[in-house]
Structure 1
Amino acid sequence: MTIRDKLSDKIAIMDVTLDESIYPREKIDHTRVHIFSENLREGFKFDPIEVQIHPDKKGKYRILDGVHRWNAHKEVGLTDISVIIRDLKAIDPLLYAAKMAIGPKQLTEKETRSTARRAFKKNPGLTSSEIGKLIGRSRQTIDNYIADLRAVQQIKLDRKIWLMNRLGIPQDRIARRLGETRDIIRSHLGEMPILAKSPFADLSLGLTIPQVATKHNWSEPMLWSLVLEGQNDQARFKALGWGLRTWDLWNFNECDSRFG
C-alpha cells in the first residue's frame, strides 16, 4: 500500500474542506485553534497540512491531517495554505487520519473505538490487525471494539449463503457471487442447522411464521422452506391453507403474498 506525495506550495483555503466521514475526532478544539491563530499572527510558520483530492467534489480537497491549523488560517483571514497532497491508494482515509493524530492531543479511547467501528462498517473486509496497525492498537483491542459488528456481519453472510443454497445454487457459484472461498462456504453450510434452531424453538412455543420471521430478521419464504421441508404436496397445501382445486382449463391463481 504505497502513499505517494505531491508537495504543493499553496492552495486556496476555500478549496479545502472538512469531511466529517473521515475525521476521527468527536469535535474541534476551538481553544487550540485560537492558540494556533495567535501563533500565525506572531509570524510562526506551521508544517503543511495533509489533504487528498476529494472523491465527490471536483476541484476540492479534504483534510487528512491539520484541521486545527486549517481553521486557524481561516480565523486569521488567510486565503491560502501550504499542503501535502496524499495519494493513499488502498489505505482507508479515516484510518490514515487517525494514525496522523499523534500530536500533543492524541485520540481518546472513545475516539479510537469509534474510528475502528466506522472503518469496519465501511469495509468489513478489514482485519483487526490492519485496523490496529494504523490506529496504534493491538489486534485483541480491535477485536473487542468490533466484536458485535463482526457477529452481525457473520449472521448476514450466513443468511445469504443459506438462501442461495436453498435455491439450489452450487457452492462454487455462491463463492463467486459473495467473493468468498469454497472452503468458507462449505464451513458456513455446516453450521446451517444451528442457524435454524432458534426459529424452530420459537415456532414450537406457538409463535406464528410472520412473528418468528420478524424476530429473527428472516424472510417468510426462508422460514416456510424450512417448515415445509420433507413434506408432500398435500401436507404443504394444508399448512399454507391453499386446499386442492381442479380446473378444466388452464387457470392460474395469483401469487401468494408470502412468496412474492
Structure 2
Amino acid sequence: MPFFNISDLIWDETIYPRSARKQQTIDAYGEALTAGATFPPITIQPVVNYPAPNTSLSEILLLILDGIHRWSAYKVLGLTEIEAVIWQEQPLDYATCKDDMLLESARRNISHGDRLSQTDKRQVARDIVSRDPNYQLSEEMLAGSLGVTRQTVNNWIKDIRARQKASRDSTIHRLNRLGWTQQKIAQVLDISQARVSGIINNANFCIIDNLITQGREMPYIAGHLNMDLATAWAIKLMGLKDQEKFKALGWGLRTWDQWYFNDCDDRFGTDWPGRIPAQLVAHTLFYFTDPGDLVMDPMSGGGVVPDVCLLFERKCQAFDLAHENTRPGAILAFLNADWRDFESIPAKKESPDHAITLFDFHRLLSETGWQLTHRIECPLSSERLSGTLVQRMQDKRILGTVSRTLLIAKHI
C-alpha cells in the first residue's frame, strides 16, 4: 500500500460530510498511535482544476475523501507520511465531480470509525440536491449512499425539490411566452419535450388571483411561487390591452415624442451598467410593435427588454452579439447619446475628431441599409452631476449634455 506525504494532502471542507472535526476523536487516535496501534489507510482522490492558491488548474492535487481524523492525528504527532488508497485512479475534474466526491465521502463515513450523525447526513443530502436542479440524482441513490430510507431522504429534501420544480416550471412558462419552441426549452433545461408540453398545457395561474384577493403584494406572490417578479407581473396582467397594462403598472402613457424617464423600475431587469428604464422599452413596444411580434435585443445586459416583452406579450430573442440577418421591414430602436469629452474640454476647444454624435449614428445606420423614421428625445437628468462638478464646468466653460435620443429605423 503506498504512502503519501501528509503535507501534500488537502482537506476540502466542502466535500467533507461532517459539520466539523471532533477534537476528542483526534486526541484518541493520537494516543492510540503513540501506544503502537495501526490504522487502516485513508482514502484520497486526485483532482484537476482545483482552485488552490499558487497552483495551476492543470496541476494534479490530492483531496482526502475519508480519514480526516486519522490524518489530523498524524499531523499532530509530527508524522510526515500516511498510508492511503486512491478512490478513482484517473484524476477527476473538481468542479464537475464535486458532488460525486462528497457522496462517496459520506458513504465511507457511515459504516466505520466516528460515523456520520443524522444531522450530517441530512446536510449532505440538502447540499447535493440544492446543486441538482435537473434531478440527476434520485432519492434512492442518495438513500443508499447515506444509509437511510428513501422516505427519510424525501423528508429532508422535499422543500428544496418543491422550490426547484416551481422555479423550473416558471422558467418554462417564461421561455414559452417569449416565443421559444418546446424543443428548444427541453434542450436548454435538459428535460423531455413531453414534460415541457405537459407543464405548459396544465398551467393554472388562478393562485395568483387568489393571493391578490387575500391582499398579498406582488413581491410576496413571486417569492411564494418561486418565480421572478417580471414573470409574476406578466401572468397577472395577461390578456389586458397594452394601455391597460401601462395603467396597472402606474407608468402613464406618453403621447408626444419626448420620453423623460430616468428612474429604472426595479420590477424589470437587474442592476446593470447603462440600464435602460423599462418604461422607455414599453413605449417603444407600444408604438412600433404589436402583441406577438418578435423583438431582438443584441445587447441584453440586465435583461430589461425580455422582461418588458414578456409583460407586453411580445416574443423576444436576447443575446449579446451583433445580429446581421435582419429582414426587410424590420424595425430597429437604437438609444444613444452624443459622446464628447465634455468633462475636461471647454466647448469652444472641442474637436469633432474626438466625438461620436447622433449624426454619426444616423450615417452608420443609413450606410448599412436602415432608413430613419422617427427621432424621439429621451433626456437624462442633470441631477446625475454633482454641484461641485457643475460649478467646475461653468468655470471652464464646459458644455455638458443631458440629451439622449431614440432613433427608430426601418430595414430597406
TM range (shorter): 0.7 to 0.9
Instruction: State TM-score, norm by structure 2.
Output: 0.54
Q: Of residues 114, 131, 137 in structure 1, which corresponds to 2:148? A: 137
List alignment gaps of at least 5 residues for structure 1: 1-6
Partners of 1:181 and 1:109 lie apart in 2 by 35
CA distance in 2, matches of 1:48, 1:127: 31
**Equivalent residue number for residue 194 of structure 2:** 183
Among candidates 255, 264, 279, match of residue 245 of structure 1:
255
Q: Pick the structure with greater CA Rg.
A: 2
| Partner Cα separation in structure 2 for residue 66 and residue 202 of structure 1 | 52
Instruction: Provide closer, same or farther for how the CA distance between residues 105 and 237 of structure 1 changes in structure 2, counting only shifts above 3 A.
Output: closer
- Equivalent of 2:37 in 44, 47, 61: 44
**Counterpart residue identity of residue 198, structure 1:** I
Q: Which deviates further from its counterpart, 98-107 or 176-185?
A: 98-107
The reply on whether 1:198 has 2:207 as its aligned counterpart is: yes
Distance 1:235 1:79, change over 3 A: same
1:235–1:59 distance in 2 versus 1, CA, 3 Å: closer
Distance in 1 of aligned mates of 2:220 and 2:40: 60
Instruction: Decide which moves more: 219-228 or 101-110.
Output: 219-228
User: Any idea what the Cα deviations from partners look like across 1:149-195, whole Å, max 9, x if unmatched?
Assistant: 111111110111110011011111100011110121122223422xx
Cα distance change, pair 169–52 in 1 and its aligned pair in 2 (3 A): same
**1:257 pairs with 250, 253, 278, which one?**
278
Q: 1:11 to 1:42 in 2, by over 3 A?
A: same
1:94 aligns with 2:105: no
1:81 aligns with 2:82: yes
Greater helix content: 1
Displacement of 1:60: 3.1
- Residue aligning to 2:125: 116
- Identity among equivalent pairs (%): 29
- 2:244 matched to which residue of 1? 235
Write out per-residue CA displacement over residues 22-56 of structure 1, whole angstroms, 9 at most, x where no aligned residue.
11122222222222222222333322110112441
Deviations 1:78-117 (A, max 9, x none): 1111111221866711111111111143211111111111
Q: TM-score, normalised by structure 1?
A: 0.83
8 Å CA contact 1:237–1:244 kept in 2: the answer is no
SS at match of 1:192: coil
Say whether the 8 Å CA contact 2:45–2:86 is kept in structure 1: yes
Match of 2:10 among 13, 17, 21: 17
- 2-side partners of 1:60 and 1:227: how far apart? 52
Q: CA deviation at 1:208?
A: 5.5
**Paired residue for 1:152, among 150, 153, 163?**
163
The residue type equivalent to 1:128 in the other structure is E
Give the length in aligned residue pairs. Answer: 248
Aligned-residue RMSD, C-alpha? 2.7
Distance 1:104 1:211, change over 3 A: closer
1:67 and 2:68 are equivalent in the alignment: yes
Instruction: Tell me how far apart the structure 2 counterparts of residues 123 and 227 of structure 1 sit (CA, whole Å).
Output: 30
What residue number does 1:4 align with? none
Q: How far apart, in 2, do the equivalents of 1:189 and 1:165 lie?
A: 8
Give the 3 Å change call, closer, same or farther, for CA 42–242 of structure 1 in structure 2.
Answer: same
Q: Does the 8 Å CA contact 1:15/1:59 hold for their aligned counterparts? A: no
Contact 1:12/1:81 (CA < 8 Å) preserved in 2? Answer: yes
